[in-house]
Amino acid sequence: MVTLLLVSLAGFLAQLIDGAMGMAFGVVSTTILIAIGYNPAVASAVVNVAKIGTAISSGWAHVKYKNVDWHAMFKVGVPGSIGGFVGAVLLSNVDLSRALPWTSSILLILGLMILYRFTRTKIFGKKRRARARWLAPLGLVGGVVNATGGGGWGPVVTTTLTATNALTPRKAIGTTNTSELFVAIFTTVGFLFGLGYRQFPWQPLLALLIGGLLAAPLAAWLVKKAPQRIMGVIIGGLIVLLNVRQLLVAVDAPAAISIVGYLAAIALWVYAVIVGIKMLSVDRLKE
């Protein structure tokens, strides 16, 4: 019972972060399930089933608060569903852990780009509509990463959408969370196809789902009310810190180097937050 309560709490916190930041539900939840003893494929499958419920709740709330860009949502969601199905089948049969350093390096660069953009005086340049020619590959890659890593749709898609001038952080987060419903459904189908019929561990699944459902509306409200500059800085810092950790683990870095890496990432994040807060006064004068 204590374990299930912890899993439910993790689901609540993970969805609160995911709904407000556009990422982390899968990463947090999958980590816990693997720590409990489930293999990566089963853990990812359980998390994606849970995501169906949380994505419905989160997506509805984001639609209610007008956080969704429908053009981008469909253009990224359909390829993402295909990528999720393919990635799930691959994870069921192939070890793709060697791709982690490459994926984390890309995300780290995008995180640094976001921090740079949201600590500048002028956040956005000339508006342009998000085009399908790059949204489709983005969705495909995001779907594959999400399935093979037990999470990653948010970090890949939200990061890229926010790093462009096409969508504001609020729209990027809402669009990513809403399209995740389709990705989760097709990823789950892919796992069932790749793994064959297996009994899902329903208790941790329900615990994750309950915690996530409770957090989803609160997260969408938070996105609506939070300053865009601060949201961008928080997203960028979170991405940098998480992927510095992933890279250090992947290369089996010595303890001293790991400590330096963590301290550098945290210092950069704190600096960006301070600059972002100071810039809020400049933003208010422009309103």
Q: Does pLDDT of 99 surpass 80?
A: no
Check if the beta carbon of residue 172 is closer than 8 Å to that of residue 158. Answer: yes
Residue type, 42: V
Q: Which residue has the higher pLDDT, 187 or 18?
A: 187
Rounded distance, CA 233 to CA 227, Å? 10
pTM for this prediction: 0.67
Q: For the segment 71-96, what is each residue's pLDDT rounded down to a tens digit?
A: 888 989 999 999 999 988 887 776 65
Q: Average pLDDT in the 47-55 region?
A: 79
Give the torsion sign (CA, 165, 59, 186, 85).
positive
Residue type, 71: H
Burial of 127 per CB tally in 10 Å (0-12, 13-18, 19+) = exposed
Q: Does pLDDT of 251 surpass 90?
A: no
